[in-house]
Amino acid sequence: MRTQVAIIGGGPSGLLLSQLLNKAGIETVVLERQSREHVLSRIRAGVLERGTVDLLNQAGAGDRMAREGHPHHGCYLSSDQQMIRVDFQEACGQTVMVYGQTEVTRDLYEAQDALGATHIHGVENVVLHDLKTDSPYVTWDKDGQTHRLDTDFIAGCDGFHGVSRRSIPDDVRREYEKVYPFGWLGVLSETPPVCDELIYANHPRGFALASMRNPMLSRYYIQVPLTDKVEDWSDEAFWAELKARLPTGVAANLVTGPSIEKSIAPLRSFVSEPLRWGALFLCGDAAHIVPPTGAKGLNLATSDVHYLSQALLAYYGTNDSSGLDGYSHQALARIWKAMRFSWSVTTMMHRFPEHSDYDQQMQRVELDMLATDPTARKLFAQNYTGVPL
């Protein structure tokens, strides 16, 4: 079996890359460990930058997003009962789209089906071979047999625990990591959102976030210690803690209900360099992870896909390999900017075990600057809605 680009991982970054390449006549094969049903069951954030929205439209997978997504023109940050609104359009002339990552993935699957793209689910023991040669290939096991795929290039879109990043030798790969001393307890409920825009809350009891998926599906989070377990938190305890951390006027309007999904996610920042090793190119969580505070995870993955797809189109179109040669440097420049923003918002909004009164005062000053300084709001809005691709 042979293809032009082998894509390891059938999440949104792998599907989007496959879609953009197939639309341009470049053949791909997507290899995914899980079933399609499992991939579509993953609950993830859904704040999309303008660049991500444009790329989904370019891929022919944006029609339902245009109908059902919710453009947001700003967000709120709260502290000491104060609600600080950052107006994205006023500050930088941009907006974001609230549309769940599960729905993005579903749309991409449907677009891939319409093109007849090749997906192979349920693969095991994936191994990448001869990456520094002109004849790389991939092997995997399925249904008791070993299969081989010859290819020109391999895109590693298989996440933090996938095989792609680990296929780059240890003496070449350099990893940067910061593990935060807390996690987010998230609840999904079939209730109307408490606000029509996201609320990021700084509170002495810890961070909270009020978000949404649609007019009758809300997503809420509270900061919890890493030692907490989901079973430690009843629905009643979660709602009581969330109300305590939101401003009083907001909490009074909160509609509660049974949770339909509840989980705890640890927070970390992670970057692996380089993003290219011979015929292998890393995309998305295989190369980097950001805290969800800055809403950058999916958006960074799509920016990687943008740079890599453009480089592959140039290579197959005019034999121009400069984009492939420069992919790692170009993508990492944007990745590190997003890392800085996510780190800064996480630091500003959460309570750390080691925080002193001085640290908490610095948080108040940062939030006060957003409340009073148009330049601070512009910088925040530019980073939140996405620096240009």
Catalytic machinery residues: 72, 200, 292, 296, 384
Beta strands in the chain (DSSP E): 5-8, 28-32, 47-48, 70-72, 74-79, 82-87, 96-98, 118-121, 124-129, 137-142, 145-150, 153-156, 174-189, 199-202, 208-214, 217-224, 259-273, 276-277, 280-282, 288-289
Contacts of 303 (CB under 8 A, 6+ apart): 51, 52, 331, 334, 389
Q: What angle do CA 377, 382, 387 make, to 5 degrees?
A: 165
37 C-beta neighbours (distance < 10 Å), count: 8
Backbone angles phi, psi at 210, to 5 degrees: -110, 115
Contacts of 119 (CB under 8 A, 6+ apart): 10, 29, 30, 32, 36, 112
